[in-house]
Every structure is written in structure tokens, then in C-alpha cells.
Amino acid sequence: MQKLGTTLSSFIIDEQRKLGNKASGEFTGLLNDITIACKGIANLVNKGDLAGVLGATDSENAMGDVQKKMDLIANDLFIDALENNGHCAGMASEELDEVLTLPEGKPRGHYLVTFDPLDGSSNMDINMDVGAIFSVLKAPAGKENPTAKDFAKPGTEQVAAGYCLYGPSSMMVLTTGNGVNGFTLCSSIGEFILTHPNMEIPKDTAEYAINSSNQRFWEPPVQKYIADCVQGEEGPLGKRYNMRWVAAMVGEIHRILCRGGVFLYPIDERNREVGGKLRLLYEGNPMAMIVEQAGGAANTGYGRIMEVQPNGDPHQRVPVIMGSKNEVNKILEYHNVN
């Protein structure tokens, strides 16, 4: 008889028990709510055009990005899963202009949740990797309707972070501040099963991910680093590098967790005034927590991502350099020199 393995639900309960008297079932319930949303999204992503969910809408999100049908569907699935069970006090989504307060009469919990419900949604139409990213923060005590200011906490205050990758198989990768673990969705029983315990990022790498079409807009330190990578064994870095780019942060970071590498979305001349390209609450902080918990490093080029002080804008942007620790430190040396 085949052994089932550790389910995500039982893993979360075991983690809760380690906290002893400090733990309550509310946190476990919250993560289960997020899991339900991710399962619903996985089901639709796997069906693709058979479910009529491909293509764009006529709307844009808060950042001016054209929204895909699945952006809105995934956003609604997260909201539906989180607003009814009394585990969540408020939400912030990349797809919404403002933070979301719960309807009157809905029970309030002690946690705030931020999420990018479908990272890389442009990949849906070509059947490539997409995913959901989420972060959990403590809610302010005694406040029924948290505001954007209550979400404005540095990444060091995150309680948990994770993502769900929808690829050849669906995987949930989660950290509660005690390492990183990966769970694969078993469709036959509808459960995430622990398949990648204690994920660790190799400290060294010869692989980088960056959108090279933006090269002319990069700052000199990034220009110089990539130019040195391209020179290979004959260049100052003394080794051959490979470049990867799948246009979905979830896919890039998952590859780095599995085999190492660095992911760069640096500040450039087109986004300097707004601070960068990726969102601090929905992408930068949760992915930085995951990467650091797996032994990697996450930096803006000017400081640790999780120490960036939020400015109160739920859509604040930051530059991102994260992945294998020694390679990130090498990139930071270019910034210091220049």
C-alpha cells in the first residue's frame, strides 16, 4: 500500500504544536483558507481554455497593467476564501486599488493577508508557469477595519509567506519563519503533500535571470555585472554563466530554490521615479522572506528588501536582486564600486 505522506494541513498543525501555548488554531485556519484559494485557482489554470478563462479584460489594475480574466477570477477566489471564517482582519491585493475591509457582520481575525493572486498571468495564454504569492502579517489589536497604514510594515514583521506555482504540477512553497518546505498537489485526493522538505538555495551559482531587453535602461553596476557574466570564462568572473527568463517571478524563484541562481529586476531609468518595477507588499517582501529562509539573500541593490520601510502606499515598488547568497553579494560589490 502506498504511503500518503505528510499533508500540508498536518504539517501546519505540527508546526503550531511546536509553539506550545503561544499557538492558536486561527493561524492554521488562515493557512488552510489560503490553500483552498490556491486549489481553486489550480483547477482553473489546469483547464485553461476549456474553462474559458484565457484572454484579457477591458480593465487595468492599480499599476496600469491590463488585467487577464484569470487575474480577476483568482482575486475573487482569494477574497471568498479569506473573508468568511474569522481568521483574517483585512486584505491587500495587487489587483485592487485600495486595501480591502471585510463586509459588516463578517467575523474578524488577528491577521492581515497580502497577495498577488496570479503572478505572470500573461503566461496563461501560452501555457507557461504562473503562480500566486502571499504574505501574512499581524493585524492591529482591536481595530475592526484596518487601513493601508496597518499594512505598512517592513518584511521583517511577516508571520508567514509563500507561493503556489501552477506548472506541470501545482506546488505550494511555504515558510512560517522556520525554513522553507514545498508541497505538491495530489489531484487524486485533493491534498498538498510534502515533497520538498527543508529547501535550501545553493550559495554559489552560474545562472542568472533578467529581462535583457531592458539593458539600455539599467544602472551602471547592473550593466557591468551582466557584461562580465556574458564574457564567461575569459571575463573577470572566470566562469560561464547561463541566462534564464520565464517572465513570472514565481517560476524564477522556484527554479532558484531548486537549483540556485539569481533573479534581478533592477531599478532602471523608466521606473526610477516610482522606485522600481515589483511591488514590495505582494512580491518583494514575501519572496525575500522565502529566499532568506532558504539560505539565500534578497536586496534592492541599496539594502535588504525586508528592511525597506513601507511608505503607506499598498502598491509601493522596489528593485529586486535575490537568490544564491554569494552571487547576490558579488552583485552588491558592483554597486559599492560604482
Catalytic machinery residues: 65, 71, 94-95, 116, 118-119, 283
Amino acid at 148: A
Instruction: Quote the CA–CA distance of 257 and 48 in Å, as a whole number.
Output: 27
Helix ranges (DSSP H) in the chain: 8-18, 25-47, 69-82, 148-151, 220-230, 249-259, 285-293, 325-337
Question: Which helix H or strand E contains 66, and what residues bound it?
Answer: strand 66-68
Measured N-to-C along each axis, helices 249-259 and 285-293 cross at an angle, to the nearest 10 degrees, of: 10
Cell of 183: 508541497
CB atoms within 10 A of CB 155: 24
Amino acid at 133: I
- Asked if 250 contacts 129 with a C-beta cutoff of 8 angstroms, the reply is yes
- Asked if 128 contacts 150 with a C-beta cutoff of 8 angstroms, the reply is no
Residue 258 has phi, psi (to 5 degrees) of -80, -35
- Asked if 184 contacts 193 with a C-beta cutoff of 8 angstroms, the reply is yes
| Exposure on the CB side of residue 26, measured as CA atoms within 13 A | 18
- E-strand ranges in 191-269 read 191-196, 207-209, 242-244, 262-265
Cell of 115: 497577495
